[in-house]
Amino acid sequence: MSTVDYALDDGIAVIWLNRPERLNAVVAELVDDLLEALDAAAKSDARAVVLAGRGRAFCAGHDLKEPTPAGDAVDSRARLDRLQDVTRRLRGLRQPVIAAVHGYAIGAGAEFAMGCDLILAAEDAVFAFPEVSLGLSVTGAASRLLPLLVGPLKAKELLLLGERVSGTEAYELGLVNATVPADDLMDTAIAWAAKIASHPAAAATMAKRALDSGIDSSLDAALELEVSHALITEHSAEVAASSEAFRSRA
């Protein structure tokens, strides 16, 4: 795995997104590597998982410096389903997953965090959902999970206005569980994971499954609708223009 690091120690699996030179922005290779790391955690004896980002950000969303992948609707569908598998895999793990978010958690980055069971944010974290402003569709079950976390009206505000919120504001909205100083982020995340790992593993899994059962009853429908919308939007003239403008920046 060249874009994701994986380590297992004392019952805790730590997965690092590792494209720091691009703020861990999402490309196909990162999605593949992240799924591989999640599979490794699933097969391990880990009792808790931490997802974090190397460098200055958790994940800055899709890498708009990369050209839109060529291909027909079948190819696009396969690529989008692969991206959605990150949410499916995170929620499907038997181990509780903690997102340790610092710096940017934008678009797909915020959606990766929401796929986790707990979200711990550094005070310097920045969350945003800019898809609408770019002519794109949300992914990662944001259409289902975001309203559950912050309420329908605030979810529409975050999506339609695309404004950024700090880690502290995210906590006030209910988007994250807690905020800590950036220097304390990983220590706190590991402490949370260690506490979970100290509990009987079967009980933690059953608690996760029980809580997710009601949430996930509509998750598959949300993921399917998001893919349908993404197939419509990603090859539009508006997206082509916004992507070209981003790639042409100095």
Q: Sheet of 104-106: strands edge to edge?
A: 104-106, 126-128, 165-166
Identify which of 93, 100, 111, 88 has the alpha carbon closest to the alpha carbon of residue 52.
100
Q: Which DSSP state fits 182?
A: G
Q: Give Cβ neighbours of residue 214 (< 8 Å, ≥ 6 apart).
A: none
C-beta separation of 62 from 97 below 8 A: no
Work out the number of other CB atoms within 10 angstroms of the CB of residue 217.
Answer: 10
From the list 123, 131, 163, 244, the catalytic residue is 131
State how far the Cα of 230 lies from the Cα of 9, in Å rounded to an integer.
38
Cα 141–Cα 113–Cα 92 angle in degrees, nearest 5: 60
111 catalytic residue (yes or no): yes
Identify which of 31, 102, 26, 29 has the alpha carbon closest to the alpha carbon of residue 64.
26
- Tokens 């389903």 correspond to 81
C-beta separation of 167 from 179 below 8 A: yes
From the list 29, 36, 111, 123, the catalytic residue is 111
26: helix, strand or coil: strand
131 catalytic residue (yes or no): yes
For residue 75, count CB atoms less than 10 angstroms from its CB and return exposed for 0-12, middle for 13-18, buried for 19 or more.
exposed
Q: Give Cβ neighbours of residue 146 (< 8 Å, ≥ 6 apart).
A: 114, 129, 138, 155, 158, 159, 175
- Which residues are the active-site residues? 111, 131
